[in-house]
Amino acid sequence: MTQRDNDIHDTAVIQQGAVLGRGVTIGAYTVVGPEVTVSDNVFLGPHVVVEGKTNLGTGVQIYQFASVGAPPQDLSYQGEMTAVEIGKNTVVREAVTIHRGTDKGGGITRIGSNCMIMAYSHVAHDCQIGDHVIMANVATLGGHVEIGNHAVIGGMCAIHQFCHIGEFAFMAGMSGTNKDIPPFTRYSGARDGRLFGLNLVGLRRGGFSKDDIRALKDAYRIIFQKAQTIAEGVQEAQEQFGQIPMVAKFLKFIVESKRGIPPASMKEEE
């Protein structure tokens, strides 16, 4: 354990073997396990538990009552050495739970940089979360879920294990899904689970050009509103717009989906 220029409360428990960077703040009654690595300028509030082989990137903030690195809720887990990684400047709010990976799932639960994981959310074993992802309050991920960069998961959402949520996708609050949500789209699963066009607000904020957004919108309409089948729509969209990188990424996601794509509403809510 190293403690250099750090602010550590007298009641905190930093177990032998933990590695601390510089400028670390650790609040009252927080516990840091012996295999944890804490990078520079990390903030751990009071009553936080960080355990297992967990690596916290520079500037990570974890608030009170959060649990990071606990064993996975998986009956096959037998105490193997697995891990959690959280990228720089990610914020983990109150009472969030993040579990370490399993051997069969690759051994690591990973959260990228500049994410916001809001209060009471759960990230299960072996999840892979990209950069700039927002999970609103009580969002819950089953095991092995993948979430692309800049995706937004609304409050009280539940995502089934092994689902894949594409980059810049938006999942409305109180939604559930057992399907893959394509990148750049909006999904609502509060009732029957459907896509509602593109995440236009997210795309504009993300700096995508008007031409690229227009091409993506045309490809979406071909696949979900014009073609008789998704396969036929993907082929037609590929012929017309496949040379555009973001459209190619959209089509590739659909073709490679293992859990299937939700149906689309005929009404696009702009």
Catalytic residue ranges: 125-126, 143
Residue 264 pairs with which residues in a beta bridge? 195
Q: Could you give the 3-state DSSP secondary structure of residue 227?
A: coil
- Distance linking the first and last C-alpha atoms of the chain: 53
- For residue 61, the cross-strand partners are 43, 91
Strands (E), 4-71: 7-8, 13-14, 19-20, 25-26, 31-32, 37-38, 43-44, 49-50, 53-56, 61-62, 67-70
Q: Is 205 helix (H, G, I), strand (E, B) or coil?
A: helix
